[in-house]
Amino acid sequence: MSSSAGPAEATGAFDLDQLPQRAEKNIAVRVKAAAERALRQGHPWVFEDSIVKQSHLGNGGDLAVIYDRADNNFLAVGLYDPLSPIRIKVLQSLQPMRINQGFFADKLRAAQAKRQPLISAETTGFRLVYGESDGFPALIIDRYGDTLALKLYTTAWIPHLRALIQALQETVIFDDLFLRLSRTLQSDRLNVARLFGLRDGQQLLGDNPSGQVELVENGLLFQADVIKGHKTGFFFDQRDNRSKARDLAKGRRVLDVFAYTGGFSVYALAGGARSVTALDISEPALETLKLNVENNGFDSDQVDVIVSDAFEGLRQLIAAKRKFNLVIVDPPAFANSRASMRNAVLGYRRLVEMALRLLAKDGILVMASCSSRINADMFYQLVMRSAAVAGFELDVLDKTSHALDHPIGFAEAEYLKALFARVQ
- Separation of alpha carbons 202 and 225, rounded Å: 12
Per DSSP (E only), the strands in 330-393 are 359-369
Strand pairing class (253-257; 275-280): parallel
- Please report, for residues 54, 100, 235, 332, 356, the alpha-carbon distance to residue 88 in angstroms, rounded to integers and kept in the order given: 12, 17, 28, 28, 45
* Average pLDDT in the chain: 92
Alpha-carbon gap, residue 245 to 397, rounded angstroms: 12
Provide the pLDDT for residue 411: 93
Q: Quick one: 113 and 57 in the same domain?
A: no
Say if residues 404 and 115 touch (Cβ distance below 8 Å). yes
**390 and 326 share a domain?**
yes
Residue 17 lies in a domain: no
Single out the residue in 156, 176, 211 at which a domain terminates: 211
Q: Are residues 408 and 329 in the same domain?
A: yes
pLDDT digits (tens, 9 = 90+) for 85-111: 999 999 999 999 999 999 999 999 999
Q: What gap in Å lies between CA 155 and CA 121, rounded to an integer?
A: 36
Q: Are 63 and 22 in contact (CB under 8 A)?
A: yes
Between residues 197 and 402, the one the model is more confident about: 402
Range name among 12-16, 268-272, 302-306, 386-390 with the lowest pLDDT average: 12-16
Question: For residue 75, with 0-12 CB atoms within 10 Å meaning exposed, 13-18 middle and 19 or more buried, which class applies?
Answer: buried
**Within a domain: 163:** yes
On whether both 191 and 331 belong to a single domain, the answer is no
Out of 93, 112, 144, pick the residue that ends a domain. Answer: 93
Distance of CA 117 to the CA centre of its chain: 19
In a domain? residue 2: no
* Full residue range of the structural domain in which residue 191 is found: 100-211
Amino acid identity of residue 248, one-letter, is L
CA dist 191 and 179 (Å) reads 17
pLDDT at 342: 80
Domain count, the chain: 3
CATH code for the domain of 288: 3.40.50.150
User: 293 and 206: one domain?
Assistant: no
Is residue 345 in some structural domain? yes
Asked if residue 117 belongs to a domain, the reply is yes
Same domain, 267 and 306: yes
How far is Cα 410 from Cα 402, in angstroms, rounded to an integer? 13
- How many other C-beta atoms lie within 10 A of the C-beta of residue 228? 12
Look at residues 21, 320, 361, 301 and name the one whose alpha carbon lies nearest to residue 160: 21
Nearest in space to 185 (alpha carbons), one of 84, 287, 321? 84
Q: End of a domain among 54, 73, 93?
A: 93
pTM for the full predicted model: 0.92
Digit-coded pLDDT (tens) for 353-396: 999 999 999 999 999 999 888 999 999 999 999 999 999 999 99
- Which residues, 6+ apart, have CB-to-CB distance to 302 below 8 Å? 269, 273, 274, 275, 276, 293
Confidence class for position 192, pLDDT limits 50, 70, 90: low
What value does the mean pLDDT take over residues 340-357? 90
Taking 3-state DSSP, the helix, strand and coil percentages for the chain, each rounded to the nearest 5, stand at: 35, 30, 35
Q: Are strands 86-93 and 125-130 parallel, antiparallel or unpaired?
A: unpaired
Count of Cβ atoms closer than 10 Å to residue 294 Cβ: 12
Confidence of residue 16 (pLDDT cuts 50, 70, 90): confident
DSSP code for 160: G
Same domain, 249 and 352: yes
Residue 229 forms part of a structural domain: no
Examine residue 170 and state whether it is found in any structural domain, yes or no: yes
Residue 190: the pLDDT is: 62
Residue 1: inside a domain, yes or no?
Answer: no
Report the chain's terminal Cα–Cα distance, integer Å: 46
Under a CB-based contact definition with an 8 Å cutoff, are residues 80 and 156 in contact? yes
Backbone φ and ψ of 328, nearest 5°: -110, 120
* Alpha-carbon gap, residue 182 to 340, rounded angstroms: 19
150 and 254 together in one domain:
no
Same domain assignment for residues 149 and 281: no
What pLDDT score was predicted for residue 339? 65
- Domain containing residue 123: CATH number: 3.30.750.80
Portion of the chain with pLDDT greater than 70, in percent: 94
